[in-house]
Structure 1
Amino acid sequence: MSVKECTHHKNKGRNLLRKLCAGFFILAFIVLLTFLITWAILQPKKPRFTLQDATIYSFNVSAPILLSSNFQITVSSRNPNDRIGVYYDKLDVFASYHSQQITYFTAIQPVYQGHKDTNVWSPFIYGTNVPVAPYNGASLTQDQSDGAISLLIKLNGRVRWRVGRFISGRYHIHVTCPAYIPFGNKQNSAIPGIVVGAGIKYQLSQRCSVNV
């Protein structure tokens, strides 16, 4: 008699476990389906970044392969979404040359970007006696002598998406803006510069790549 009761309880426990697992999978399927339908309706798009200009104040390579630079950039970000807002919780901008960071990080203030809104930032990017790899030091000196240098202006940070009252978790955002900046031997510059105080401003209007 006791054996039958024990078997009955085991079967009952298994049935309950199967029902719980089935309920969990059904709930997970409903949540996933709701997310996919919402995603398809909203059709979210990544923010669009543009490097508008760069003002060069100083850019000097000295021995033993140290770089001191100071320039200001203007970069814009547009939210192309009709129903999705963007929180920029953290955004750092810096310059790199041949995969090497050549300036310090400059932080951009956190901001919320509404539907179809555009934000424009003009941070200063600089570095004092930043060590440069020997091969990059030689290339920098040569580029400066030739009258132009190809840099990458990068913005890295974290964003959140807002749909109505719902706010997503944080996502990493990586923005890369190619910047072909003429300076040094300015007589060979293909892009004319405008004197701004102690610097020279170059209009770039360069579209950036964005990864989220």
Structure 2
Amino acid sequence: MCCRDRCIRCICCTIITLVLLFIVSSIIFWIIISPSNMKFHVTDVSLTQFNLTNNNTLYYNFKVNVTVRNPNNNIVVYYRRIKAIAWYKDNDFGRVNLTPFDQGHKNTTVLQVLFEGQSLLKLRRQQLGEYKEETSVEVYNDMAVDFDFRIRAKFGKFKSSRFNPPIVQCRRLSVPLISKGKSSPPFSVRNCRIGRSFFVDRDAEAEW
């Protein structure tokens, strides 16, 4: 009986030791890698059509250029799904799937997104009043673009499984309408908001 108890204690100690070693190794690995957050900036916008009819149909042509910067020395990001979502006053009106790509370390990539077509857009009374005022001056406020990614990341020689990072939010954009004969006015670069870390699975984080 004593021999059996010693065996059980030995197995338990071994399992605990292995778990602790794994946790410590993971922490040390993460400290060594110490990933910097990705950087997203809206660098240019172009709006040539934004017409809301009486039957709540929005006709739109909205272009957005966004730079994606990977500032890390030892991390490669594999973008496997890229969905861009256009918003106006908290109402989404356009969705576009972009071509997947791989981004190496210390690399900057430009995403060019074109939202074009028509969709149903039901604004509340106050929002409709704001839309009419903005139409009169041809500048639309509270425009936004979100990016929903599914990625893999390579940390040194270790490659992660696919996961969903936090939604990248490029909000509070004031976008002028470019009428015929008018040139596009200069646009001030805007930062996009990310969660605490781009390299954390938002689904796993939500469970906590």
TM-score, with structure 2 as normaliser: 0.81
> Which one of the candidate residues 152, 155, 177 is aligned to 1:160?
152
Cα contact 2:81–2:98 (8 A) shared by 1: yes
Q: How many residue pairs get matched?
A: 191
Query: For structure 1, which runs of at least 5 residues remain unmatched after alignment?
Result: 1-7, 187-192
Task: Write out aligned runs for 1:7-156 (5 A).
Answer: 8=1, 12-103=3-94, 105-135=95-125, 136-149=127-140, 150-156=142-148
Q: Which residue type is aligned with residue 176 of structure 2?
A: P
Residue number among 151, 168, 176 corresponding to 1:175 in the alignment: 168
Pairwise CA distance, 1:13: 4.4
| Conserved? CA contact 1:68–1:128, under 8 Å | yes
CA distance in 1, matches of 2:175, 2:24: 48
How far 1:128 moved relative to its partner? 0.5
Q: 1:206 to 1:94 in 2, by over 3 A?
A: same
Percent identity for Structure 1 against Structure 2: 24
Distance in 2 of aligned mates of 1:70 and 1:209: 24
RMSD: 2.3
Whichever residue aligns with residue 48 of structure 1, its letter is K
Secondary structure of the structure 2 residue equivalent to 1:30: helix
Counterpart of 2:177, as a letter, is F
Give the Cα separation in 1 of the matches to 2:185 and 2:112.
Answer: 12
| Structure with max Cα Rg | 1
> For the Cα contact (< 8 Å) 1:92–1:155, is it kept in 2?
yes
**Per-residue deviation, 1:66:** 2.2
Deviations 1:70-105 (A, max 9, x none): 1211111000101111111111112112322121x2
Q: CA deviation at 1:58?
A: 0.8
Change (3 A) 1:204 1:92: farther
Equivalent pair of 1:61/1:141 in contact (CA under 8 Å): no
Letter in 2 for 1:203: F
Give, in angstroms, the shift of residue 170 of structure 1: 2.6
Give TM-score scaled by structure 1 length: 0.80
Name the stretch that deviates more: 130-139 or 76-85.
130-139
CA offsets 1:111-166 (integer angstroms, 9 cap, x no match): 11111011112121134132323333333222222432221111111122202331
Tell whether the 8 Å contact from 2:49 to 2:177 is kept in structure 1 after alignment: no
Q: 1:160 touches 1:171 (CA, 8 Å); kept in 2?
A: yes
